[in-house]
Structure 1
Amino acid sequence: MTEKIDVSQYVEQAALLVDLQLRDEYRDSAIANFEKIQVIAKLVNEFSLPKDIEAAPKFEP
């Protein structure tokens, strides 16, 4: 994903989709949190995995 997402517009649209009345005093914090999430998601999505990797059949911590 090379396109930069307008996080403030995303927050507004997502709030509309889930019928969330996002109060003004929380809007800036919600946008800041989604900007942080965007950075973390970029790191995860750009992490390359070997082509021959297989999913574990069972998760064992």
Structure 2
Amino acid sequence: MNNISEYVHQTANLIDLPINPEYHEGVIYNLEKIAELAKLITEFPLDDKIEIAPVFDPSFEPEATQKFQ
């Protein structure tokens, strides 16, 4: 995303979302911060051997963790 200000303007127009002028800078600032955080996630290197878990189980501990207990 090269021009976040333009993106905010065009998207607001597209979905007919009025943004009060006093909030416009804050919306742009927050979207810039969200884009920075998203970049950290999307650029994080993952091993090609990693598979998506079909079900999330918060109590599951991988074998590597279990060995150290």
TM-score, scaled relative to structure 2: 0.77
Matches within 5 A, 1:30-45: 30-45=27-42
Which protein has the larger Cα radius of gyration, Structure 1 or Structure 2?
2
RMSD: 1.1
Shift of 1:18: 1.3
Aligned position for 2:55: 58
Aligned positions, number? 58
Match of 1:19 in 2: 16
- Which structure exhibits the higher relative contact order, with contacts defined as CA atoms closer than 8 Å and separated by 6 or more residues? 1
Unaligned runs of 5+ in 2: 59-69
- Could you tell me the TM-score, scaled by structure 1's length? 0.86
C-alpha deviation, 1:14, in angstroms: 1.2
Query: Cα deviations across residues 36-60 of structure 1 (Å, max 9, x unaligned)?
Result: 0110011111101111110001012
User: What is the Cα deviation at residue 13 of structure 1?
Assistant: 1.1
Runs of 4 or more off by more than 4 Å in structure 1? Answer: none
Identity %: 47
